[in-house]
Amino acid sequence: MKDFTVGNAGHLFVILSFVTALVATFSYLKMTLAHEAAEENHWKRLARGAFYVHGVAVVSVVACLFSIIYNHRFEYQYAWSHSSLALPVQYMISCFWEGQEGSFLLWMFWNAVLGIILTRTAGSKWEGPMLTVFALVQAFLTSMILGVVLGDVKIGSSPFLLLKESMPDAPVFTMNPNFVPSDGKGLNPLLQNYWMVIHPPTLFLGFALSLVPFAYCIAGLWRNQPLNWIRPAQPWMLVGAVVLGVGIMMGGYWAYETLNFGGYWNWDPVENAVYVPWLIMVAAMHTMLTAKRSSAGLKTAIILTVAQFIFILYSTFLSRSGILGNASVHSFTDLGLSGQLLVYLLAFVVIAVALMAVKWKLIPSDEQELSIYNKELWLFLGAIVLCLAGFQVISTTSIPVYNKVAELFGKASNLAMPTNQVAHYNKFQIWFFSVVAVLSGVGQYIWWRKAGKGNFNTLMTPLVLTLLISAAIIGFGEVKNPVYMVFLTASVFAMMANGAILLGVIQGNYRLSGGAVAHMGMALMLIGILFSSGYSKITSINNSGLMISKSEEFTKNDNKENKENVLLWLNQSERMDGYQLTYRGQRVEVRDMPGYVPRKAVEVIEGDFRGVAQEDLSANGKLYHKKGDTIALYPENVYYEVEYREPSGKIFSLYPRAQVNERMGTLASPDIRHKAGRDLYTFVSSVPDPNAETIWDKTETYSIAIRDTFFLNDYVAILDNVVKTNEVEGIDMKPSDVGVKAQVRVLYKDREVMMQPAFVIRDGAIASPADISDDLGVRLQLKTIDPKTGKFTFAANQTQRDYIVMKASEKPLINLLWIGTLVMVVGFIMAIVRRYRENGKMEGKAQKEDRKKTAISYQ
Partner 1 sequence: MKLSHIIGIIVIAVAIGIVVTSYGDSSSYVTFGKALAMAKDGDEDMVHVVGKLKKDASGKAEGLFYQPQLDPNHFEFTLVDNENHVQKCVYNSPKPQDFDRSEQIVVIGAMQGDHFQTNKILLKCPSKYQDGKLEVTEHEAKTAQL
Residue among 440 and 809 whose Cβ is closer to partner 1: 809
How far apart CA 470 and CA 464 sit, in angstroms, is 10
Residue among 81 and 444 whose Cβ is closer to partner 1: 81
Residue among 45 and 663 whose Cβ is closer to partner 1: 663
How far apart CA 490 and CA 496 sit, in angstroms, is 10
Q: What is the 3-state secondary structure (H, E, C) of 235-265?
A: HHHHHHHHHHHHHHHHHHHHHHHHCCCCCCC
Per the CB < 8 A criterion, the answer to whether 641 and 653 are in contact is yes
Q: How far is CA 93 from CA 55, 67, 68, 165, 256, in A?
A: 20, 11, 12, 24, 22
Residues ≥6 apart with Cβ < 8 Å to 576: 539, 540, 566, 808
Residue among 573 and 686 whose Cβ is closer to partner 1: 686
Task: Work out the burial of residue 724: count CB atoms within 10 Å of its CB; fewer than 13 is exposed, 13-18 middle, 19 or more buried.
Answer: exposed
- Hey, which residues does 786 pair with through a beta bridge? 791
Among 339, 324, 320, residue whose Cα is nearest residue 99: 320
How far apart CA 582 and CA 777 sit, in angstroms, is 17
State the minimum distance, in angstroms, from the CB of residue 666 to partner 1.
4
State the minimum distance, in angstroms, from the CB of residue 685 to partner 1.
4
Per the CB < 8 A criterion, the answer to whether 747 and 712 are in contact is no
State the minimum distance, in angstroms, from the CB of residue 767 to partner 1.
35
Per the CB < 8 A criterion, the answer to whether 368 and 436 are in contact is no
Residue among 137 and 255 whose Cβ is closer to partner 1: 255
State the minimum distance, in angstroms, from the CB of residue 620 to partner 1.
34
State the minimum distance, in angstroms, from the CB of residue 662 to partner 1.
5
Do you know the residue count of the chain?
859
State the minimum distance, in angstroms, from the CB of residue 139 to partner 1.
30
State the minimum distance, in angstroms, from the CB of residue 429 to partner 1.
10
State the minimum distance, in angstroms, from the CB of residue 308 to partner 1.
18
Please report which residue ranges of 145-268 form alpha helices under DSSP H.
163-166, 171-175, 195-222, 230-258
State the minimum distance, in angstroms, from the CB of residue 561 to partner 1.
7
What is the b/e burial string over 570-583, where b = at least 16 CB atoms within 10 angstroms of the residue's CB? bbbbbebeebebbb
How far apart CA 333 and CA 316 sit, in angstroms, is 13
State the minimum distance, in angstroms, from the CB of residue 757 to partner 1.
27
State the minimum distance, in angstroms, from the CB of residue 108 to partner 1.
25
Residue among 625 and 807 whose Cβ is closer to partner 1: 807
CB atoms within 10 A of CB 566: 23
Residue among 346 and 423 whose Cβ is closer to partner 1: 423
Phi, psi of 620 (to 5 degrees): 50, 40
Residue among 3 and 369 whose Cβ is closer to partner 1: 369
Q: How far is CA 746 from CA 307, 442, 696, 770, 795, in A?
A: 72, 72, 19, 16, 15
Is 118 strand, coil or helix?
helix
Among 118, 124, 149, residue whose Cα is nearest residue 211: 118
State the minimum distance, in angstroms, from the CB of residue 498 to partner 1.
24
What is the b/e burial string over 307-346, where b = at least 16 CB atoms within 10 angstroms of the residue's CB? bbbbbbbbbbbbbbbbbbeebbebbbeebebeebbeebbe
Residue among 329 and 472 whose Cβ is closer to partner 1: 329
Is 688 strand, coil or helix?
coil
CB atoms within 10 A of CB 501: 25
How far apart CA 760 and CA 629 sit, in angstroms, is 29
Phi, psi of 820 (to 5 degrees): -60, -40
Residue among 143 and 682 whose Cβ is closer to partner 1: 682
State the minimum distance, in angstroms, from the CB of residue 348 to partner 1.
24
Residue among 353 and 416 whose Cβ is closer to partner 1: 416
State the minimum distance, in angstroms, from the CB of residue 558 to partner 1.
12
Amino acid at 62: V
How far apart CA 406 and CA 429 sit, in angstroms, is 28
What single-letter DSSP state applies at residue 302?
A: H
Packed helices 814-858 and 514-534: angle between N→C axes, nearest 10 degrees: 160
State the minimum distance, in angstroms, from the CB of residue 452 to partner 1.
16
Residue among 350 and 547 whose Cβ is closer to partner 1: 547
CB atoms within 10 A of CB 655: 19
Residue among 289 and 541 whose Cβ is closer to partner 1: 541
Among 154, 165, 146, residue whose Cα is nearest residue 101: 146
Among 680, 645, 655, 683, residue whose Cα is nearest residue 596: 655
Residue among 223 and 801 whose Cβ is closer to partner 1: 801
Residue among 69 and 238 whose Cβ is closer to partner 1: 69
Residue among 542 and 797 whose Cβ is closer to partner 1: 542
How far apart CA 71 and CA 65 sit, in angstroms, is 10
Kind plus residue range of the DSSP H or E element containing 738:
strand 738-748
State the minimum distance, in angstroms, from the CB of residue 329 to partner 1.
5
State the minimum distance, in angstroms, from the CB of residue 364 to partner 1.
16
State the minimum distance, in angstroms, from the CB of residue 130 to partner 1.
32
Residue among 186 and 277 whose Cβ is closer to partner 1: 186
Among 144, 300, 150, 308, residue whose Cα is nearest residue 215: 308
Residue among 438 and 602 whose Cβ is closer to partner 1: 438
